[in-house]
């Protein structure tokens, strides 16, 4: 059974966060976790199975009225995706209300799965982010005005 609880960096594999902090050449999507922890002012949670973190998601405040949504999947089985995405979608309205948000956005690596995830959250493609990726690749900006 998958358990969902508040994000705890102590439970996320330490090598992932160490890589994000120390080795800019080896960054992956897990960099988003470090960004979320460093930014503060947000909310996040994680899905675990037998104590092993499988996914994490949440949002952080960019500035008053605007929040960045993020999700990192270490395992993408339908069971994990369903649990974490349902929790994210159910939690967003309360987060928006509490922080008086007028906009949600996400920077999306343009794979079909990532674009589908953004769409599931009600975000719409707004345009390309040329050269944004760690490898210099293009990403997409998705957003929603509330």
pLDDT digits (tens, 9 = 90+) for 71-130: 777 766 778 778 888 888 888 999 999 999 999 999 888 877 788 888 989 999 999 999
Q: What is the pLDDT at residue 16? A: 56
pLDDT digits (tens, 9 = 90+) for 26-44: 334 555 555 555 555 568 8
Q: What is the number of other CB atoms lying within 10 angstroms of the CB of residue 104?
A: 23
pTM of the model: 0.78
Q: What is the pLDDT at residue 33? A: 58
Phi-psi region of 131 (alpha: psi -120 to 50; beta: other; left: phi over 0): left
Q: What is the pLDDT at residue 35? A: 58
More reliable by pLDDT, 37 or 49: 49
CATH of 2-145, one of 3.40.1130.10, 1.10.240.10, 3.40.630.30, 2.60.40.10: 3.40.630.30
Q: What is the pLDDT at residue 105? A: 94
Measured between alpha carbons, how far is residue 79 from residues 32, 40, 49 in Å?
Answer: 22, 29, 11
More reliable by pLDDT, 15 or 125: 125
């Amino acid at each position: 059974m998958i358990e969902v609880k508040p994000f705890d960096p102590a439970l996320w594999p330490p090598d992932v966060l160490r890589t994000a902090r120390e080795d800019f050449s080896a960054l992956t999507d897990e960099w988003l976790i470090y960004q979320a922890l460093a930014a503060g002012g947000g909310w996040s949670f994680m899905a675990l199975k037998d104590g092993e973190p499988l996914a994490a998601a949440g949002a952080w405040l960019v500035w008053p009225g605007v929040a960045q949504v993020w999700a990192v999947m270490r395992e993408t089985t339908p069971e994990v995706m369903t649990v974490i995405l349902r929790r994210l979608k159910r939690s967003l309205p309360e987060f928006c209300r509490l922080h008086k948000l007028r906009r949600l956005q996400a920077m999306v690596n343009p794979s079909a799965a990532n674009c589908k995830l953004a769409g599931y959250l009600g975000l719409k493609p707004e345009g390309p982010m040329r050269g944004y990726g760690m490898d210099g690749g293009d990403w997409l900006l998705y957003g929603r005005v509330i």
